[in-house]
Chains A and B, each alone.
Chain A
């Protein structure tokens, strides 16, 4: 019995190690369970009801350069010189030294979020990990949870302070900002993060009788149908997402992955 279980254990271990080498040598990061909740969209209209967000799990912190390098090595089609421009623009991984080398001069950012990656690239990475990108609703639910390990007056205030600071010459490592009550690190204040449906708020689903359903973010249009006119941080976040295209690679934009929780 003992032998059998040892053998089984060995098999499992081998299988696990194999999976690990396929998915890279860096240990799988912890995923945090986010309980189910109702998400009230930033933009509301008569046809735009609160969204039910099912429980899901989310990476504890953003995907790092070191983690992303493993992905590129295992999927060379995503290396800087081979990537298709339709899926990643010229800024893709532009700060790396070469296709498969983050670079010695970049040694301080191995554990910093990977940035200058497109939505397509982020999606492919998550898929490779057996995960997916979080939806906008999921990200907002997770990201708006208050910090638990820093003093703050309001999340909005904290976020605004990030926007007001000049960019740092070296992007800090993951876990360098705050941890929120769910246990997630750096949801605000380090980088922007891709969501699966990053521009979905631009057109709301049903448009019957909504000729005045002005859900645009420009000029005074942005003051219509907003749940909280003083949530300037949300305005900035949605405004940022609205200007993105799937192949855009941006200095301050990274990502983390999410996963469904299978209820049996």
Chain B
């Protein structure tokens, strides 16, 4: 009976795979698709927020080995407030992965020996059931491996997809993967990685000490904390991002959720370019862009005037009362033709 079921399931997987690749082939080829030859092998250079790995200079796809580790760890959620985070790479958000279109990725997911729980990864950059979730399921102290080809360029969220998924995400298990298009992205002066997410704690915002996850608040979508890069003021004040007047800054922005949609805005700046929801369509001269939960966007802005710029979720109570604030400090000469008093 079991064998019957297994073979039947296997067959349906093959059929689904054939149908879906059959449907998608034409799209892929339009983009330049899968006709490129894969050569060489490298290990992905990963980064932690707010940093981004360097742009890819290869003009061909290669085999890329990505090594991620899931770690359960108590870290700072706010000053004097800690939380038991579940993470990719012992940080929230998790490691930034940067690959090129048509790269063949070997993803090794190691679950730290001291983890209490099993974890997995669902990358939205994957074509395949679960985004890799089931293949990557891994018990503490062990490693799972699966392979995928990065067919579609774009900026994608990845997250843990082990039950209960909302809890794994609510505890910090998400990050971004950038699949650069052939030819790469246009050169800019600075790139940063920012990810919004919210936390549901039993105690209210600002309560000191180790906080517990509150499932009821999660279900009701009543977040106590809405933060950028995993904690209140992770990239504000002395940890603010920096840039110089005249530079173009590119932000890879993700929204890990688990529930809230972000009205992403930088106060006092205008996005010259927005890769809407991380895809191919570029919109220009936008003030605020919407980033869905489990979604992303690439925004680019030229910094014209020195000063401190607040990065916010313009659902503005989240900024004042829940922590949704990061900053860019821009140094350089004033330009009175652009901005001045009187």
Contacts and interface: CB of A to CB of B under 8 A. Distances in A.
A219 B131 contact: yes
Contacts of B72: 166
A128 interface: no
A55 interface: no
B140 A250 contact: yes
A36 to B, nearest CB: 27
A138 B8 CA distance: 31
Listed residue (B1, B6, B8, B165) with the most chain A CB atoms within 10 angstroms of its CB: B165
B304 interface: no
A250 B138 CA distance: 12
B139 interface: yes
Residues of B contacting A: mostly: mixed
A220 B114 CA distance: 27
Contacts of B167: 232, 235-236
A243 B137 contact: yes
B39 interface: no
Contacts of A206: 1
Interface of B: 1-2, 4-6, 8, 12, 72-74, 84, 113-114, 116-118, 120, 122, 130-131, 133-134, 137-142, 161-165, 167, 212-213, 215, 219
B161 A219 contact: yes
A20 B120 CA distance: 45
B164 to A, nearest CB: 4
A146 interface: no
A243 B139 contact: yes
A44 interface: no
B139 A250 contact: yes
Contacts of A243: 118, 120, 137-139, 142, 162
Contacts of B1: 205-207
A243 B138 CA distance: 5
Contact of B139 (A166, A205, A244): A244
Given A211-B12, A252-B116, 11 more contacts: A167-B114, A203-B2, A203-B5, A205-B1, A207-B5, A222-B165, A236-B117, A240-B139, A243-B138, A243-B142, A249-B141
Listed residue (B5, B120, B141) with the most chain A CB atoms within 10 angstroms of its CB: B141
Contacts of A172: none
Given A216-B134, A222-B164, A251 B213 contact: no
A164 B201 CA distance: 12
Given A211-B12, A222-B164, A238-B163, A161 B131 contact: no
A219 to B, nearest CB: 5
B261 to A, nearest CB: 18
Contact of A218 (B6, B73, B120, B140): B120
A143 interface: no
Nearest to A243: B118
B213 to A, nearest CB: 6
